[in-house]
Structure 1
Amino acid sequence: MNDTTFITTGDGYRLAYRVDGDENKPVLVLSNSIATTLQMWDGQIAALTQHFRVLRYDARGHGKSDAPEGGYSMDRLGRDVIELLDALGIERAHFLGLSLGGLIGQWLGIHAPDRIGLLILSNTSAHLGPVEEFDARIAALQTSPDMAAVAQAFLANWFPAHMFEAKHPAIEPFRDMLLSTPPKGLAGCYAAVRDNDMRRTIALINRPTLVIAGTDDTVTLPSHGEHIAATVPGARLVMLPSVHFPNIEHPDTYVRTVLDFLLEKEAA
């Protein structure tokens, strides 16, 4: 199956997903950053499907998934993944989440460890604040949902200046993803991030865990990755010379880092 299709979640909304690769291989779930779609992983699929059946999905409020009104919760975003696995008859999968996807991965590691094999938490944080900042962002989307201005602010935080100066071809697809994100979907996920704090509870994660952080990431700071790696028992930390999307800045290094961890742990 290589086309986007849908499940209906327990609370009645459509969740879009796509599966690539051999159905006999172990399943690897990829979970996206806020304000992106499953296409953010396009550059990694060829390498990952050599070893895994890759399941991608659009988080609620994003891409082709429904965008309910109101605030979402990390609990709901995590349950969306469990319901997706249930619908596809997948008992256990490896999980790689970046940014918001990494927050969801932490929630799954805490609350549904039986469903997760190996866990990769990339460019993420156990807690982001302050609350007032997210409230202001949500209010701005509700009163003046100018996604062009929002998109420019996100892109400036996601990629280094030299990529803009070189007009790197990877940037425009991310601008398109941002502009296509419904303001109510972005606001809903902002609420989930605002209300989340797993700084202590990630100590309960018992899955083999790799943490990837970016030395120049100003969204989820290097110290956020260091905290996760220091708190999750036995976690491994890899620091890459990147801003927020090392899979775009350093695609070969990134996918090699991911595969080295997954294949080493699978072999063990």
Structure 2
Amino acid sequence: MLHHEIEGRPDAPPVVLSGSLGTTLRMWDPQMEALTSRFRVVRLDHPGHGGSPEGGDGSIADLGRGVLDALDRLGLSRVSFAGLSLGGMIGMWLAAHAPERIDRLALLCTSAKLGTPASWAERASAVREAGTASLAETVAARWFTPGHTGAEPYVRMLGEVSAAGYAACCEAIGAMDLRPDLRLITAPTLVLAGAEDPATPPAHAELIAAGVPGSRLVVVDGAAHLASAERPKTVTWHLLDHFLAE
């Protein structure tokens, strides 16, 4: 089972948070105070990330099934779901293939199709050879805008991720094409992009918003890929606004 933490009101509606490739569930710390005052919040680590064991077949579908298994074990039949980057990819798969399980959906700084299988295979190979710490400088430049001073805790998270777990998730992203699934998503959906995100630029969010019926697009100024960390108050406000909507 995926490593998880549950906080907030036990009787409140459940919200699941799933983060970026190369981070742990701690990446959501800036949102927790506000979310736990209104929801029962479940944070999950991807396989090989944080406290979750390595495993799986290296596909987005397998990662999605891992989340469904965790929800089943926790007795959660229907949840709202927020995913950033890889977490958003998993959220799209869940909302398209298990729509009865997703109440409201928030997709942050993510993509329905990202890069090529070859480019992701190359990154996976490099990480298996040199470890996740070898990515620190490159990843920090993608996660945050130039001059941002709060990157260090998130770069440390990257070092906590196993090389095999990171590489397997790279291969899942490389093989992924969720564009045909977008029209199947029926959950009310917020699509949020960082205006200065070099990893999943706003055009990726625009494609998702155009494909998901009735979705709403928000672009956050002054944010790169980890918008939830770089602009925490703005992102938290949009999550609350979306999840509390009638």
TM-score normalised by length of structure 2: 0.97
Alignment partner of 1:156 out of 141, 144, 155: 141
**Distance in 2 between the 1:33 and 1:42 partners?**
13
Kept in 1, the 8 Å contact 2:195–2:219? The answer is yes
Offset at residue 19 of structure 1 (A): 0.2
Q: 1:70-149 to 2 correspondence within 5 Å?
A: 72-142=58-128, 144-149=129-134
**Distance in 2 between the 1:64 and 1:50 partners?**
25
The secondary structure found in structure 2 opposite 1:109 is: helix
The secondary structure found in structure 2 opposite 1:210 is: strand
**Distance in 1 between the 2:43 and 2:131 partners?**
28
Which amino acid is the alignment partner of residue 251 of structure 1? Answer: P
Kept in 2, the 8 Å contact 1:120–1:212? The answer is yes
**Distance in 1 between the 2:22 and 2:39 partners?**
26
Offset at residue 43 of structure 1 (A): 1.1
**Distance in 2 between the 1:124 and 1:147 partners?**
21
**Distance in 2 between the 1:74 and 1:212 partners?**
20
**Distance in 1 between the 2:57 and 2:121 partners?**
11
Alignment partner of 1:250 out of 228, 231, 238: 231
Which structure is larger by alpha-carbon Rg, 1 or 2? Answer: 1
Offset at residue 176 of structure 1 (A): 1.1
Deviations 1:45-91, CA, capped at 9 Å, x for gaps: 000011100000111121111113x8511111001111111001111
Instruction: Find the counterpart in structure 2 of residue 204 from structure 1.
Output: 184
Which amino acid is the alignment partner of residue 151 of structure 2? Answer: I
Kept in 2, the 8 Å contact 1:21–1:50? The answer is yes
The secondary structure found in structure 2 opposite 1:200 is: helix
Kept in 2, the 8 Å contact 1:37–1:58? The answer is yes
Which amino acid is the alignment partner of residue 53 of structure 2? Answer: D
Kept in 2, the 8 Å contact 1:61–1:186? The answer is yes
Which amino acid is the alignment partner of residue 80 of structure 2? Answer: H
**Distance in 2 between the 1:17 and 1:130 partners?**
31
Q: Which moved more, 1:175-184 or 1:225-234?
A: 175-184
Offset at residue 212 of structure 1 (A): 0.3
* Gap runs ≥5 in structure 1: 1-7, 9-14
Which amino acid is the alignment partner of residue 62 of structure 1? Answer: H
Deviations 1:189-223, CA, capped at 9 Å, x for gaps: 00110011011221111111000011111101110
**Distance in 2 between the 1:195 and 1:147 partners?**
21
The secondary structure found in structure 2 opposite 1:237 is: strand
Deviations 1:153-210, CA, capped at 9 Å, x for gaps: 11111001111xxxx2x32211111111111011000011001101122111111100
**Distance in 1 between the 2:47 and 2:243 partners?**
27
Matched, 1:181 2:166: no
Kept in 2, the 8 Å contact 1:71–1:191? The answer is no
**Distance in 2 between the 1:234 and 1:244 partners?**
24
Kept in 2, the 8 Å contact 1:21–1:52? The answer is yes
**Distance in 2 between the 1:207 and 1:119 partners?**
6
C-alpha RMSD of the superposition? 1.1
Offset at residue 147 of structure 1 (A): 2.7
* Gap runs ≥5 in structure 2: none
Alignment partner of 1:172 out of 138, 152, 171: 152
TM-score normalised by length of structure 1: 0.89
Instruction: Find the counterpart in structure 1 of residue 219 from structure 2.
Output: 239
Deviations 1:213-266, CA, capped at 9 Å, x for gaps: 1111110111000000010000000011111111111111110111111112xx
Deviations 1:14-45, CA, capped at 9 Å, x for gaps: x2100000110000000010000000001110
**Distance in 1 between the 2:122 and 2:227 partners?**
28
The secondary structure found in structure 1 opposite 2:49 is: coil
Q: Percent identity?
A: 43
